[in-house]
Amino acid sequence: MVGFAVHKVNQNRCPSTVYPKPGFGQTGASPAGNRIETYLIIIAAGLVLALLIVWLHGRRLQRRDGAIRGLLDGADSLERQLQECRERMQHLRDMLTVLPEEMSARADSALQADAKVQAALRDLLAHRLWIQQRAATATQAELDAARSALDQSGTTLQAQLDRLAAIAADLQRAQTDARTLSRPKPS
């Protein structure tokens, strides 16, 4: 190595010659660097905002789809309950044939509710048509109100089904009692 001398290494001790231009090699921010960082922060904030908007929109659509699915499931459940109610009432009418006429006349007239069940099924069909025609444009509040109405109808109908079950148990006991009374006593 030509011109290399160990003793001449730190001869120039003036700090101003180390960094000849202001800002060169220093750790302080430069005006051009500030602009780039500002742009990157604005872009990152915009991306975060866009992702937040997309996420919220997706959640709103999921909630809406869930509400429509819940409406359809609720309508199916209510229809099953109405069919079950009709079958139980028919079964109860069949049970009345064993009882004496004076005991069963009032109960038979109470069990003649096919017209009411048919009306409920027609209302349910109207509800399904509303779902089909209006669910896509209905507000979330309207969908929630429709779901609430279906749930309330289902709860009321379930109470009626429980009442029919209790009546069926009473009728079963009455049939058993009627059979034991009508049997001839052995002499």
In a domain, 119, yes or no: yes
**Checking phi first, is residue 96 left (phi over 0); if not, alpha (psi -120 to 50) or beta?**
alpha
Amino acid at 68: I
Closest-CA residue to 61 (of 147, 150, 132, 143): 143
How far apart are the C-alpha atoms of 5 and 8, rounded to whole Å? 6
What predicted TM-score, i.e. pTM, was given to this entire model?
0.61
Residues 124, 75 contacting (CB under 8 angstroms): yes
In a domain, 74, yes or no: yes
Tell whether the model's pLDDT for residue 78 goes beyond 80: yes
Range of the domain at 76: 64-178
Tell whether the model's pLDDT for residue 45 goes beyond 90: yes
In a domain, 144, yes or no: yes
Q: What is the pLDDT of residue 32?
A: 62
Within 13 Å, how many C-alpha atoms sit on residue 73's CB side? Answer: 7
In a domain, 168, yes or no: yes
Alpha helices in 17-113 (DSSP H): 31-96, 101-111
User: Residues 175-184: pLDDT tens digits?
Assistant: 787 777 766 6
In a domain, 42, yes or no: no
The tally of domains found in the chain comes to: 1
Query: Using 50, 70 and 90 to split pLDDT, how confident is the model at 5?
Result: low
In a domain, 23, yes or no: no
Q: What is the pLDDT of residue 8?
A: 57
**DSSP 3-state assignment of 95?**
helix
